[in-house]
Amino acid sequence: MIRCNTYEKVCHQIAVDISNKVKNENHLVLGLATGSTPIGIYKELVKMKPDFSKTITFNLDEYVGLEKTHDQSYHYFMNEHLFQYFDFEENYFPTKQNHNEYDILIKNCGGIDVQILGIGTNGHIAFNEPNSSRYSSTRIVDLTENTIKDNSRFFENIKDVPTQAYTMGLSSIMEAEEIYLVAVGRHKKEILEKSINGEITPEIPASYLQQHKKLKVYYSDR
Protein backbone atom coordinates (compact mmCIF):
# COMPACT_ATOMS: atom_id res chain seq x y z
CA MET A 1 0.00 0.00 0.00
CA ILE A 2 1.29 3.43 -0.94
CA ARG A 3 0.58 6.01 1.77
CA CYS A 4 0.66 9.67 0.79
CA ASN A 5 0.60 12.69 3.07
CA THR A 6 -2.20 14.33 1.16
CA TYR A 7 -5.00 13.51 -1.22
CA GLU A 8 -3.43 15.89 -3.73
CA LYS A 9 -0.25 13.79 -3.86
CA VAL A 10 -2.29 10.63 -4.43
CA CYS A 11 -4.15 12.22 -7.31
CA HIS A 12 -1.06 13.73 -8.87
CA GLN A 13 0.82 10.43 -8.88
CA ILE A 14 -2.02 8.49 -10.47
CA ALA A 15 -2.60 11.21 -13.08
CA VAL A 16 1.11 11.15 -13.96
CA ASP A 17 0.97 7.37 -14.41
CA ILE A 18 -2.10 7.61 -16.66
CA SER A 19 -0.59 10.45 -18.72
CA ASN A 20 2.57 8.44 -19.26
CA LYS A 21 0.58 5.41 -20.37
CA VAL A 22 -1.34 7.55 -22.86
CA LYS A 23 1.97 8.78 -24.31
CA ASN A 24 3.48 5.31 -24.54
CA GLU A 25 0.48 3.35 -25.83
CA ASN A 26 -1.08 3.60 -29.28
CA HIS A 27 -4.45 2.76 -27.81
CA LEU A 28 -5.68 2.79 -24.21
CA VAL A 29 -8.86 1.61 -22.48
CA LEU A 30 -9.59 3.26 -19.13
CA GLY A 31 -12.06 2.10 -16.51
CA LEU A 32 -13.36 5.15 -14.65
CA ALA A 33 -14.93 5.67 -11.24
CA THR A 34 -17.21 8.37 -9.89
CA GLY A 35 -17.90 9.80 -6.44
CA SER A 36 -15.70 12.17 -4.50
CA THR A 37 -12.53 10.03 -4.55
CA PRO A 38 -11.47 10.37 -8.23
CA ILE A 39 -12.32 14.06 -8.66
CA GLY A 40 -8.78 15.12 -7.82
CA ILE A 41 -7.35 12.66 -10.34
CA TYR A 42 -9.52 14.15 -13.06
CA LYS A 43 -8.51 17.68 -12.06
CA GLU A 44 -4.85 16.72 -12.41
CA LEU A 45 -5.46 15.15 -15.82
CA VAL A 46 -7.16 18.34 -16.98
CA LYS A 47 -4.03 20.26 -15.95
CA MET A 48 -1.71 17.80 -17.72
CA LYS A 49 -3.77 17.72 -20.93
CA PRO A 50 -2.81 14.27 -22.26
CA ASP A 51 -3.98 13.33 -25.75
CA PHE A 52 -6.99 11.07 -25.19
CA SER A 53 -8.00 10.91 -28.85
CA LYS A 54 -7.14 7.19 -28.98
CA THR A 55 -8.51 6.38 -25.54
CA ILE A 56 -11.79 4.59 -24.83
CA THR A 57 -13.41 4.81 -21.41
CA PHE A 58 -15.79 2.51 -19.58
CA ASN A 59 -17.51 3.86 -16.52
CA LEU A 60 -18.15 1.51 -13.65
CA ASP A 61 -21.73 2.40 -12.95
CA GLU A 62 -24.80 4.59 -13.34
CA TYR A 63 -27.97 5.07 -11.34
CA VAL A 64 -31.19 3.50 -12.55
CA GLY A 65 -33.89 6.07 -13.24
CA LEU A 66 -31.81 9.24 -13.53
CA GLU A 67 -31.66 11.04 -16.87
CA LYS A 68 -28.21 11.77 -18.28
CA THR A 69 -28.84 15.46 -17.70
CA HIS A 70 -29.65 15.03 -13.99
CA ASP A 71 -26.95 16.73 -11.95
CA GLN A 72 -26.37 13.57 -9.89
CA SER A 73 -26.19 11.16 -12.81
CA TYR A 74 -22.74 9.79 -13.53
CA HIS A 75 -23.00 10.92 -17.15
CA TYR A 76 -23.31 14.46 -15.81
CA PHE A 77 -20.50 13.90 -13.28
CA MET A 78 -18.03 12.63 -15.87
CA ASN A 79 -18.80 15.42 -18.30
CA GLU A 80 -18.44 18.00 -15.53
CA HIS A 81 -15.09 16.74 -14.27
CA LEU A 82 -13.39 15.21 -17.31
CA PHE A 83 -15.14 14.60 -20.61
CA GLN A 84 -15.87 18.23 -21.51
CA TYR A 85 -12.13 18.95 -21.55
CA PHE A 86 -11.03 16.20 -23.94
CA ASP A 87 -11.93 14.48 -27.19
CA PHE A 88 -11.96 10.79 -26.26
CA GLU A 89 -12.34 8.15 -28.93
CA GLU A 90 -15.44 6.85 -27.14
CA ASN A 91 -17.05 6.93 -23.68
CA TYR A 92 -19.28 4.12 -22.45
CA PHE A 93 -21.61 3.73 -19.45
CA PRO A 94 -23.70 0.75 -18.37
CA THR A 95 -27.31 1.60 -19.25
CA LYS A 96 -30.72 0.05 -19.67
CA GLN A 97 -29.94 -0.48 -23.36
CA ASN A 98 -26.48 -2.03 -23.09
CA HIS A 99 -25.89 -3.49 -19.61
CA ASN A 100 -26.49 -7.06 -20.77
CA GLU A 101 -23.77 -6.66 -23.42
CA TYR A 102 -21.42 -4.36 -21.46
CA ASP A 103 -18.86 -7.05 -20.64
CA ILE A 104 -18.77 -8.19 -24.27
CA LEU A 105 -18.29 -4.59 -25.35
CA ILE A 106 -15.32 -4.26 -23.00
CA LYS A 107 -13.73 -7.42 -24.41
CA ASN A 108 -14.35 -6.28 -27.99
CA CYS A 109 -12.39 -3.11 -27.18
CA GLY A 110 -9.44 -5.17 -25.96
CA GLY A 111 -10.23 -5.19 -22.24
CA ILE A 112 -9.51 -2.52 -19.66
CA ASP A 113 -5.87 -1.45 -19.40
CA VAL A 114 -6.18 0.74 -16.31
CA GLN A 115 -9.05 0.65 -13.84
CA ILE A 116 -9.57 3.34 -11.20
CA LEU A 117 -11.51 2.24 -8.12
CA GLY A 118 -12.74 3.83 -4.95
CA ILE A 119 -14.04 1.78 -2.03
CA GLY A 120 -17.24 2.09 -0.04
CA THR A 121 -17.34 1.96 3.75
CA ASN A 122 -18.94 -1.50 3.46
CA GLY A 123 -16.24 -2.72 1.08
CA HIS A 124 -18.17 -2.31 -2.16
CA ILE A 125 -16.35 -1.50 -5.40
CA ALA A 126 -18.38 0.05 -8.18
CA PHE A 127 -21.85 -0.91 -6.94
CA ASN A 128 -20.88 -4.50 -6.23
CA GLU A 129 -22.39 -4.66 -2.77
CA PRO A 130 -21.48 -7.20 -0.05
CA ASN A 131 -22.11 -10.82 -1.06
CA SER A 132 -21.51 -10.11 -4.75
CA SER A 133 -20.00 -13.01 -6.66
CA ARG A 134 -16.36 -12.83 -7.74
CA TYR A 135 -17.63 -13.81 -11.20
CA SER A 136 -20.54 -11.37 -11.36
CA SER A 137 -21.24 -9.62 -14.65
CA THR A 138 -22.60 -6.16 -15.42
CA ARG A 139 -26.13 -6.01 -14.06
CA ILE A 140 -28.80 -4.06 -12.17
CA VAL A 141 -28.28 -4.15 -8.40
CA ASP A 142 -30.24 -3.05 -5.35
CA LEU A 143 -28.24 -0.58 -3.27
CA THR A 144 -27.82 -1.30 0.43
CA GLU A 145 -29.02 1.08 3.12
CA ASN A 146 -25.37 1.78 3.91
CA THR A 147 -24.61 2.87 0.34
CA ILE A 148 -27.78 4.94 0.06
CA LYS A 149 -26.88 6.70 3.31
CA ASP A 150 -23.29 7.33 2.17
CA ASN A 151 -24.46 8.75 -1.17
CA SER A 152 -27.23 10.86 0.33
CA ARG A 153 -24.72 13.68 0.88
CA PHE A 154 -24.87 14.34 -2.85
CA PHE A 155 -28.68 14.73 -2.84
CA GLU A 156 -31.02 17.22 -1.18
CA ASN A 157 -32.91 14.44 0.56
CA ILE A 158 -32.06 10.80 1.23
CA LYS A 159 -35.41 9.90 -0.37
CA ASP A 160 -34.04 11.27 -3.66
CA VAL A 161 -31.19 8.74 -3.78
CA PRO A 162 -31.90 6.00 -6.34
CA THR A 163 -32.26 2.54 -4.84
CA GLN A 164 -30.88 0.69 -7.88
CA ALA A 165 -27.91 1.07 -10.21
CA TYR A 166 -26.26 -0.50 -13.22
CA THR A 167 -22.80 -1.73 -12.24
CA MET A 168 -19.85 -3.34 -13.94
CA GLY A 169 -19.40 -6.77 -12.38
CA LEU A 170 -16.41 -8.00 -10.46
CA SER A 171 -15.46 -10.28 -13.34
CA SER A 172 -14.65 -7.43 -15.75
CA ILE A 173 -13.01 -5.39 -12.98
CA MET A 174 -10.70 -8.26 -12.08
CA GLU A 175 -9.78 -8.77 -15.73
CA ALA A 176 -8.33 -5.24 -15.97
CA GLU A 177 -4.60 -5.20 -16.73
CA GLU A 178 -3.87 -2.81 -13.87
CA ILE A 179 -5.98 -1.50 -10.98
CA TYR A 180 -5.58 1.61 -8.86
CA LEU A 181 -7.55 1.34 -5.60
CA VAL A 182 -7.83 4.71 -3.88
CA ALA A 183 -9.09 5.37 -0.35
CA VAL A 184 -9.14 8.78 1.29
CA GLY A 185 -10.01 9.60 4.89
CA ARG A 186 -9.62 7.81 8.20
CA HIS A 187 -13.19 6.51 7.94
CA LYS A 188 -11.98 4.31 5.04
CA LYS A 189 -8.86 2.99 6.77
CA GLU A 190 -10.45 0.03 8.56
CA ILE A 191 -12.30 -1.33 5.54
CA LEU A 192 -9.22 -0.80 3.36
CA GLU A 193 -7.07 -2.82 5.77
CA LYS A 194 -9.65 -5.62 5.83
CA SER A 195 -9.86 -5.56 2.04
CA ILE A 196 -6.16 -5.85 1.29
CA ASN A 197 -4.89 -7.78 4.32
CA GLY A 198 -7.88 -9.67 5.65
CA GLU A 199 -9.83 -12.74 4.58
CA ILE A 200 -11.00 -12.88 0.98
CA THR A 201 -14.76 -13.01 1.32
CA PRO A 202 -17.85 -12.03 -0.67
CA GLU A 203 -18.93 -10.03 2.38
CA ILE A 204 -16.17 -7.57 1.43
CA PRO A 205 -16.13 -7.43 -2.39
CA ALA A 206 -12.94 -5.34 -2.42
CA SER A 207 -11.10 -8.25 -0.76
CA TYR A 208 -11.14 -10.07 -4.11
CA LEU A 209 -8.61 -7.48 -5.30
CA GLN A 210 -5.95 -9.36 -3.32
CA GLN A 211 -6.05 -11.89 -6.16
CA HIS A 212 -5.18 -9.30 -8.79
CA LYS A 213 -1.63 -9.47 -10.16
CA LYS A 214 -1.17 -5.74 -10.67
CA LEU A 215 -3.00 -3.87 -7.93
CA LYS A 216 -1.77 -0.52 -6.63
CA VAL A 217 -3.35 0.72 -3.41
CA TYR A 218 -3.20 4.40 -2.48
CA TYR A 219 -4.29 5.76 0.89
CA SER A 220 -4.31 9.20 2.45
CA ASP A 221 -5.75 10.29 5.80
CA ARG A 222 -6.88 13.55 4.24
47-96 per-position pLDDT tens digit:
999 999 999 999 999 999 999 999 999 999 999 999 999 999 999 999 99
94-142 per-position pLDDT tens digit:
999 999 999 999 999 999 999 999 999 999 999 999 999 999 999 999 9
Q: What is the pTM of this model?
A: 0.95
Q: Do residues 181 and 206 lie in contact, with contact meaning Cβ atoms separated by under 8 Å?
A: yes
Q: What are phi and psi of 206, to 5 degrees?
A: -65, -20
Domains of the chain: 2-220 (3.40.50.1360)
Q: Roughly how many angstroms between the first and final C-alpha of the chain, as a whole number?
A: 16
pLDDT given for residue 3 in this prediction: 76
146-178 per-position pLDDT tens digit:
899 999 999 999 999 999 999 999 999 999 999
| Average pLDDT of the residues in 9-31 | 96
| Average pLDDT of the residues in 7-36 | 96
Catalytic residues: 61, 122, 124, 129
